[in-house]
Amino acid sequence: MSQTALPVVRTIADLRAVVAAWKAAGERVALVPTMGALHDGHMALIAAAKARADRCVASIFVNPAQFAPHEDFDAYPRGEDRDSAMLAAAGCDLLFAPNAREMYPAGFSTAVSVGGVSQPLEGVSRPKFFGGVATVVAKLLIQCGPDVALFGEKDYQQLLVIKRMALDLDLPVEIVGVPTARDRDGLALSSRNAYLTAEQRKAASALPAAMRYAVAALQDGGEAIDVEGAVNASLTGAGFGPIDYVEIRDGATLDRLGPGPVRPGARVFVAAWLGKTRLIDNWGV
């Protein structure tokens, strides 16, 4: 069956015109911001968007502001035709695919900076990351004006940062997190998994295995510090390294946990390298 092409707009003015017409007709609008290289995790975001709104917009923009100079901005996988066909098949209504000049015109000088939840974990390993994410997501929310915007829980800290930012800036939008989509062995789907060699992909199974172990050990009353050590050791044994962090923190505040059995709502957070690929994951206890 031939698939109707997905309408695409590349300017903020065109995006606003389409969304304004939908809203004038009383329709509820959802936005799914992405950087493309779409996979089933993104399709779960589109399905969740369609369940919550009459119209679904997906954006694709590989945001230079959230990559440090030594990171993978140039190598980041790009393929709009494939992405667009996947979005159309999933029932998305519109693709917003601006270029860098539309998003960051000459003279652009503003940054959104979120404190608190953006500071630990990724905030330590990638100090510029959340500034770039918060700035571009604030812009996308203001450009599109959706009723609801959806983000994957795989980037759990990012979700908390965006929720905080929307609350603090009084953005009239509901921010919704969608559970992580996983491969059969439990590895979180990620556009960056495409960087893994076949051998590394096999070794990557150690990550969900270590997460499962951590959750079970914590539920059995294990001490956070011991469990963090065991996860570290099992990832190192499987060939991961360096390990940026293995930390068990409160899932709402990202505060460190004190000694003793972990309280409900705790989460295990890991970021570790396998060769040249940095994998992150988080599981609730």
Task: Catalog residues that contact ligand PAF under the rule CB under 6 A.
Answer: 33-35, 63, 66, 133, 136-137, 155, 158
Residue 66 vs 143, nearer CB to ligand PAF? 66
CB of 24 to ligand PAF, least distance (A): 27
CB of 61 to ligand PAF, least distance (A): 6
CB of 252 to ligand PAF, least distance (A): 20
Residue 136 vs 210, nearer CB to ligand PAF? 136
Residue 66 vs 232, nearer CB to ligand PAF? 66
Residue 162 vs 246, nearer CB to ligand PAF? 162
Going by C-alpha positions, the residue among 155, 154, 56, 151 that lies closest to residue 96 is 56
Cβ-contact 204, 187 below 8 angstroms? yes
CA distance 201 to 225: 28
CB of 149 to ligand PAF, least distance (A): 9
Going by C-alpha positions, the residue among 72, 67, 5, 79 that lies closest to residue 37 is 79
Cβ-contact 89, 48 below 8 angstroms? no
Angle at 146 between CA 142 and CA 149, to 5 degrees: 100
Residue 269: helix, strand or coil by DSSP? strand
Active site residues: 42
Cβ-contact 7, 17 below 8 angstroms? no
Cβ-contact 84, 5 below 8 angstroms? yes
